[in-house]
């Protein structure tokens, strides 16, 4: 009996000691023995000790994820590299909670059960998916390769095919999805990165097609022809393959294959050809019968022509694409404004609407001839509605080759011999016709000094117009809806020149005002110039004196209802013009003279 009591007493003492230990303050601060985090025992450890232990024991930083590339590339990554981290606080909290939820003696059964049976927990892991994506995108950057389109290159006239190549793309999302189970289990994994092949957008067959087209286009020169050539036309033109190659454009895209000559470059190439082939339309010219008011064709009209550059560019590319190297340029006709069949009635030429006249009595034979020839240039001229008539444009070249003689002309402040003296008589007469016809005068210039010819017949000073091509012109505008036909007449008996305008009258009226002028300005002292060809001791008058004068010629033009259309003032500031002499050796000019040159000593 006593031995039994001893055993029971010993057991009691042991139980008391175990209970004391289980409920002691040391275990209250520690994880209960028998607690595991996966395969790592953390029992009897203080939480901070368990944290250090788990950090070293769990394979977060071990490169156990192996990714393989298509050419044997290899990347070893740890779970941490792919964004996996341990939530230490949550992990330790669940490990510590076992055996600490109840207080006092109530905790003993739970702690004994853990010590006997054990308790195993999974670590609490966190995953930063963005970090995993960054790591995988870095690998993808190394592996990704764009597909290379097939293409055609030109080197001189040689056409070369550059074959296309497959590209590839790492499927990052698919890779990530395959990694997730291993990441959460912290298990080793070796896998081949899933890759998708990328086909080129332009395959070899398309490029081969472009190459064949380009080779055919450059196989021989391009010959450009002029359809229905006229006498004197240039051409044909041969464009060498190396020139074509510089303009060639090869484009291959999803729309297909385009091979041809660059439109802008080809248009630039055609520009000088277009200039060479351009033909201005020529209006018919007519002889006018004033008595019957009828037109008779003197010279027939001619149809003009120009190159349609845009259409030619299109045509050349189309022909080359079809394998043709003999290509006509596209020309378009330019009809003349006045055809041979036009009649006076068609143009509104029905009656005499304006007359301008002047007299050239006393002119030299050369001046007389120049007046007649110059006037003939305007006989039959038609001025279209709205058109601005230019005297110089219709006069043309004033040269000996054109038939003009030498006579006196005003150049600067001198009257000197010059070809075409007398043409200003013609311009003055045209000015008077436009003045009395009531047409807008666009440009009119007075002479430098008063010229007696222009005041014969009762015309006062300032009723003149001078020209000097190309700087000084006489211009007026036909502001009516009908053509004006100019007819010129020279009356040899009276030395009279007339410009007659035929059209349809709109019954406008012209009120002449003036001319009015002020006091004469004395010409000043005579001018003497030495000339060794003048006989010794003599002087020769070469220019007469003319007093200066300021004159104003005005007019008021009214329509058929009396409404004022225009009010004009034509101002003439005639400069004083002294007598001019040339004198010979030994002659002494008067004391009041201006001497501009003397004999050399």
SS3 content of the chain, % helix, strand, coil (to 5): 30, 30, 40
Which of 271, 305, 334 is the last residue in one of the domains? 334
| Confidence at residue 459, expressed as pLDDT on a 0 to 100 scale | 92
How many C-beta atoms lie closer than 10 Å to residue 562's C-beta?
7
Residue 417 has pLDDT above 70, yes or no: no
Identify the CA nearest to 472 among candidates 440, 488, 448: 448
**Inter-residue contact 385 to 534 (CB < 8 Å):** no
At residue 294's C-alpha, the angle toward residues 442 and 351, to 5°, is 50
Q: Tell me the whole-structure pTM to 2 decimals.
A: 0.58
Residue 20 has pLDDT above 50, yes or no: no
User: In terms of domains, do 324 and 389 share one?
Assistant: no
Is 76 within the bounds of a domain?
no
For 377-390, what is the mean pLDDT? 94
Is 253 within the bounds of a domain?
yes
Could you tell me how many helices (H) and strands (E) the chain has, helices first?
14, 37
User: In terms of domains, do 286 and 325 share one?
Assistant: yes
DSSP state of 548: B
- Mean predicted lDDT score pLDDT of the chain: 87
Residue 221 has pLDDT above 70, yes or no: yes
Distance CA 560, CA 267 (A): 53
Distance CA 524, CA 593 (A): 9
Burial of 246 (C-beta count, 10 Å sphere; 0-12/13-18/19+)? middle
For 267-291, what is the mean pLDDT? 89
Which of 99, 129, 159 is the last residue in one of the domains? 129
Is 155 within the bounds of a domain?
no
Is 174 within the bounds of a domain?
no
Tokens of 20: 């004391």
Residue 15 has pLDDT above 60, yes or no: no
For 201-213, what is the mean pLDDT? 84
Residue 174 has pLDDT above 70, yes or no: yes
317-356: per-residue pLDDT in tens? 999 999 999 999 999 999 998 888 888 899 999 999 999 9
| Confidence at residue 410, expressed as pLDDT on a 0 to 100 scale | 55
User: In terms of domains, do 547 and 434 share one?
Assistant: yes
| Confidence at residue 102, expressed as pLDDT on a 0 to 100 scale | 65
Higher pLDDT, 161 or 19: 161
| Confidence at residue 125, expressed as pLDDT on a 0 to 100 scale | 86
Residue 295 has pLDDT above 90, yes or no: no
| Confidence at residue 109, expressed as pLDDT on a 0 to 100 scale | 79
Residue 526 has pLDDT above 70, yes or no: yes
Residue 145 has pLDDT above 50, yes or no: yes
Tokens of 315: 């045509």
CA 203 to chain centre: 36
Is 341 within the bounds of a domain?
no
Q: What kind and span of H or E run contains 68?
A: strand 65-68
What is the pLDDT confidence band of residue 160, given thresholds at 50, 70 and 90? confident
What one-character-per-residue DSSP string does 297-337 give?
Answer: EEE--B-EEEE-HHHHHHHHHHHHHTT--EEEPPEEEE--S
Distance CA 98, CA 87 (A): 18
Q: What kind and span of H or E run contains 66?
A: strand 65-68
| Confidence at residue 318, expressed as pLDDT on a 0 to 100 scale | 94
CA atoms within 13 A on the CB side of 307: 26
For 285-299, what is the mean pLDDT? 82
| Confidence at residue 3, expressed as pLDDT on a 0 to 100 scale | 63
For residue 100, give every residue at least 6 positions away whose Cβ sits within 8 Å of its Cβ, in sequence order, or none. 28, 32, 107
User: In terms of domains, do 395 and 499 share one?
Assistant: yes
Count of domains for the chain: 3
- Which single residue is written with the structure tokens 């006076």? 344
- The boundaries of the domain holding residue 542 are 351-597
| Confidence at residue 162, expressed as pLDDT on a 0 to 100 scale | 82
Residue 207 has pLDDT above 60, yes or no: yes
32-44: per-residue pLDDT in tens? 898 898 888 888 8
Ranges of beta strands (E only) in 518-579 are 527-530, 539-543, 549-558, 564-574
Is 187 within the bounds of a domain?
no
User: In terms of domains, do 454 and 409 share one?
Assistant: yes
User: In terms of domains, do 578 and 432 share one?
Assistant: yes
For 182-209, what is the mean pLDDT? 88
| Confidence at residue 68, expressed as pLDDT on a 0 to 100 scale | 93
Higher pLDDT, 128 or 1: 128
Tokens of 254: 């999803």
Which of 334, 361, 384 is the last residue in one of the domains? 334
User: In terms of domains, do 473 and 574 share one?
Assistant: yes
What is the pLDDT confidence band of residue 414, given thresholds at 50, 70 and 90? low
Q: Indicate if the alpha-carbon torsion angle 394, 399, 402, 404 is positive or negative.
A: positive
| Confidence at residue 415, expressed as pLDDT on a 0 to 100 scale | 53
| Confidence at residue 21, expressed as pLDDT on a 0 to 100 scale | 47
Higher pLDDT, 310 or 285: 310
User: In terms of domains, do 449 and 486 share one?
Assistant: yes
User: In terms of domains, do 417 and 272 share one?
Assistant: no
Highest mean pLDDT among 335-339, 553-557, 592-596: 553-557
User: In terms of domains, do 522 and 379 share one?
Assistant: yes
Tokens of 375: 């006037």
What is the pLDDT confidence band of residue 12, given thresholds at 50, 70 and 90? very low
| Confidence at residue 105, expressed as pLDDT on a 0 to 100 scale | 65
Rounded to whole angstroms, the maximal C-alpha distance in the chain is: 191
Three-class SS state of 387: coil
437-488: per-residue pLDDT in tens? 999 999 999 988 888 888 898 898 999 999 987 789 999 999 999 999 999 9
User: In terms of domains, do 310 and 432 share one?
Assistant: no
User: In terms of domains, do 363 and 302 share one?
Assistant: no
Is 326 within the bounds of a domain?
yes
Highest mean pLDDT among 88-92, 101-105, 221-225, 468-472: 221-225
| Confidence at residue 23, expressed as pLDDT on a 0 to 100 scale | 46
| Confidence at residue 22, expressed as pLDDT on a 0 to 100 scale | 47
What one-character-per-residue DSSP string does 102-123 give?
Answer: S-GGGHHHHHHHHHHH-EEE--
Identify the CA nearest to 500 among candidates 570, 553, 422, 436: 436
How many C-beta atoms lie closer than 10 Å to residue 395's C-beta?
21
CATH of the domain at 247: 3.10.20.800
**Inter-residue contact 42 to 95 (CB < 8 Å):** yes
Distance CA 523, CA 547 (A): 5
For residue 241, give every residue at least 6 positions away whose Cβ sits within 8 Å of its Cβ, in sequence order, or none. 157, 218, 219, 220, 221
395-407: per-residue pLDDT in tens? 988 888 878 876 4
Q: What kind and span of H or E run contains 442?
A: strand 441-443
For 199-211, what is the mean pLDDT? 84
Is 494 within the bounds of a domain?
yes
Identify the CA nearest to 478 among candidates 544, 387, 559, 546: 387
Residue 131 has pLDDT above 70, yes or no: yes
Distance CA 78, CA 183 (A): 9
**Inter-residue contact 583 to 570 (CB < 8 Å):** no
Tokens of 225: 């022809």
pLDDT above 70 coverage of the chain, percent:
92
């Amino acid at each position: 009996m006593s031995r039994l009591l001893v055993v029971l007493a010993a057991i009691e003492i042991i139980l008391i000691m175990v209970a004391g230990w289980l409920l002691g303050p040391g275990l209250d601060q520690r994880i209960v023995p028998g607690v595991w985090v996966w395969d790592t025992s953390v029992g009897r450890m203080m939480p901070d000790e368990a944290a250090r232990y788990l950090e070293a024991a769990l394979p977060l930083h071990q490169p156990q994820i192996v990714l393989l590339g298509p050419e044997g590339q290899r990347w070893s990554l740890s779970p941490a590299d792919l964004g996996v981290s341990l939530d230490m606080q949550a992990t330790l909290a669940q490990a510590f909670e076992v055996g600490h939820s109840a207080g006092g003696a109530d905790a003993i059964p739970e702690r004994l059960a853990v010590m006997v049976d054990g308790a195993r927990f999974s670590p609490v892991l966190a995953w930063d998916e963005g970090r995993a994506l960054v790591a995988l995108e870095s690998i993808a950057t190394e592996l990704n390769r764009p597909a290379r389109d097939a293409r055609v290159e030109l080197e001189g006239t040689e056409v070369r095919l550059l074959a296309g190549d497959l590209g590839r793309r790492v499927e990052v999302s698919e890779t990530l999805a395959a990694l997730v189970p291993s990441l959460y289990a912290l298990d080793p994994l070796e896998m081949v990165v899933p890759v998708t092949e990328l086909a080129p957008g332009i395959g070899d067959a398309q490029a081969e097609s472009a190459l064949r087209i380009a080779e055919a286009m450059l196989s021989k020169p391009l010959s450009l022809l002029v359809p229905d050539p006229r006498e004197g036309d240039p051409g044909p033109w041969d464009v060498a393959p190396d020139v074509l190659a510089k303009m060639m454009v090869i484009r291959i895209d999803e729309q297909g294959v385009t091979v041809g000559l660059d439109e802008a470059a080809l248009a630039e190439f055609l520009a000088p050809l277009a200039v060479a082939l351009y033909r201005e339309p020529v209006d018919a010219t007519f002889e006018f019968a004033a008595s019957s008011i009828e037109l008779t064709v003197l010279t027939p009209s001619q149809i003009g022509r120009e190159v349609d550059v845009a259409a030619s560019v299109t045509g050349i590319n189309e022909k080359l694409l079809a394998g043709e190297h003999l290509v006509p340029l596209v020309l378009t006709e330019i009809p003349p404004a006045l055809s041979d069949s036009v009649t006076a009635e068609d143009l509104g030429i029905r009656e005499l609407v304006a007359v301008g006249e002047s007299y050239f009595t006393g002119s030299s034979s050369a001046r007389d001839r120049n007046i007649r020839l110059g006037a003939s240039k305007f006989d039959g001229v038609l001025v279209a509605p709205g058109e601005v008539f230019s005297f110089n444009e219709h006069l043309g070249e004033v040269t000996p080759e054109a038939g003009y003689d030498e006579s006196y002309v005003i150049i600067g402040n001198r009257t000197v011999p010059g070809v075409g003296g007398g043409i200003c008589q013609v311009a003055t007469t045209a000015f008077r016709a436009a003045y009395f016809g009531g047409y807008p005068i666009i440009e009119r210039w007075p002479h430098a000094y008063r010229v007696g010819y222009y005041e014969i017949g009762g015309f006062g000073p300032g009723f003149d117009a001078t020209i000097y091509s190309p700087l000084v012109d006489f211009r007026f505008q036909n502001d009516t809806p009908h053509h004006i036909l100019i007819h010129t007449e020279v009356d040899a008996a009276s030395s009279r020149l007339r410009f007659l305008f035929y059209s349809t009258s709109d019954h406008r009226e012209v009120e002449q005002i003036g001319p009015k002028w002020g006091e004469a300005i004395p010409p000043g002292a005579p001018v003497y110039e030495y000339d060794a060809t003048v006989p010794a001791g003599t002087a020769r008058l070469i220019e007469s004196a003319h007093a200066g004068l300021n004159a104003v010629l005005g007019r008021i033009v009214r329509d058929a209802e009396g409404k004022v259309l225009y009010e004009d003032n034509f101002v003439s500031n005639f400069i004083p013009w002294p007598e001019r002499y040339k004198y010979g050796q030994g002659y002494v000019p008067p004391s009041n003279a201006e001497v501009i040159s003397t004999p050399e000593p």
